[in-house]
Copies of this chain bind each other. A is one copy, B any other.
Amino acid sequence: MKDESGILFVLSGPSGVGKGTVRQRLFEEQTELQYSISMTTRAMRPGEREGVDYFYRSNEEFEQMIANNELLEYAKYVNNYYGTPRAFVEETLAKGKDVFLEIEVQGALQVKNNFPQGVFIFLFPPSLEELKNRIVGRGTETEELVINRLKEARKEIEMMHAYDYVVVNDDVDKAVQRVKSIIQSEHLKRERVEKQYKRILEVE
């Protein structure tokens, strides 16, 4: 079904949850995915290549792109801009290829605003059991500690609200397998398939 356009998948979640590991393992298996290539104003390092590691732009060019709304998200770290160029994502999707973006929560929420048709996956810390344990502990914790943990858990759960799916990272292999199921089943959604079938009826 190559006349189908691709889907943008965004993997995100709290820091330290293991997004990078899941993404890396996924890319070892799922070769049809295109990793979203970021744009940056930092200097190119030896061995890096334009359009492979990053798209390299001057500060002025980057700020022009921000002004033109040509980035799905961006942020500034240590005086350098980093962002996701909309054009690269859209051109890849138009070729029928899925794009995969791994990003922290703030960035994902920006992408969601600028590209709501993406599929947003929230990677959640180990397990529901562990969340419970983290909150109540062994019953010997101070009330203050339990309240702090509750606050923290609440913040994480509020963050997941903007996402379509939640994948628990209790085990990297299982998490990768879950992400693969999501990628596959999103392509089976009736709205997407129906369009293609209808197109055939129109063409003939």
Q: Which A residues contact B (CB, under 8 angstroms)?
A: 1, 122, 124, 128, 131-132, 135-136, 146, 150, 153-154, 157, 160-161, 163-167, 178, 180-182, 184-186, 188-190, 193-194, 196-198, 200-201, 204
Contacts and interface: CB of A to CB of B under 8 A. Distances in A.
30 contacts: A122-B190, A124-B193, A128-B196, A128-B197, A131-B200, A132-B204, A135-B200, A135-B204, A150-B204, A153-B200, A153-B201, A157-B197, A157-B198, A157-B201, A160-B193, A160-B194, A161-B190, A161-B194, A165-B185, A165-B188, A165-B190, A166-B193, A166-B194, A178-B184, A178-B188, A180-B181, A181-B181, A181-B185, A184-B185, A185-B186
A154 B202 CA distance: 10
A201 B165 contact: no
A131 B132 CA distance: 51
A188 B201 contact: no
Number of identical monomers bound together in the oligomeric complex: 2
Contacts of A136: 204
A190 B166 contact: yes
A144 B194 CA distance: 25
Nearest to A192: B166
Contact of A150 (B128, B182, B201): B201
Given A165-B189, A188-B165, A189-B165, A132 B178 contact: no
